[in-house]
Amino acid sequence: MTRFPFIATVGVTAVVLATSLSVAQAADGDRPTFGMLDRDGSGEITRDELAAMGQARFEANDTNADGVLDKAELIAAASKRTEARVERMLTRLDANDDGVLSAEELADRRDPGRIFARLDSDGSGGVSEAEFNEGREKMRQRMRARASD
């Protein structure tokens, strides 16, 4: 196999895998676990298992069973994920368990000074576009790492 077809195959496989995993989220918005994907319990996830999970999620979101996901179905699926995310956020941040988040509860979570210090990597007292973009990429990496846990 020459280099280009090999790289193209790897790229296409990565896109299919990422798409399948995003579609393969559980109904309550959680990311799929290894156990959910390893349907036969073999200790490995096969392409067939991944495809089956993706197909199952697609079918669950295709509420009118017409073989496509229309705007309303996509919005409904995203709404389920958002609702689950909000529930997790309230569970984590609602210190007094009153069902709402106050400015104080949110302020305790994010210290602007600490965030600014992280972004201002050269200590200049300002955040350049390069520092901002670097900080954003680091945040994405941390979020990905949390999501894979």
Rounded to a whole number of angstroms, the CA Rg of the chain reads 20
pTM as predicted = 0.49
Check residues 103 and 31 and name the one with the higher pLDDT.
Answer: 103
Alpha-helical (H) ranges within 24-102 are 34-37, 47-61, 71-93
pLDDT 10s digits, 1-59? 455 454 545 444 444 444 444 444 444 445 678 888 888 999 988 889 888 988 998 99
Rounded CA-CA distance 93/99 in Å is 10
pLDDT at residue number 8: 47
Around Cβ 62, how many Cβ atoms within 10 Å?
Answer: 15
Domain ranges of the chain: 110-149
State how far Cα 36 lies from the chain centre: 16
If we measure between CA atoms, which residue out of 80, 84, 13, 18 comes closest to residue 54?
18
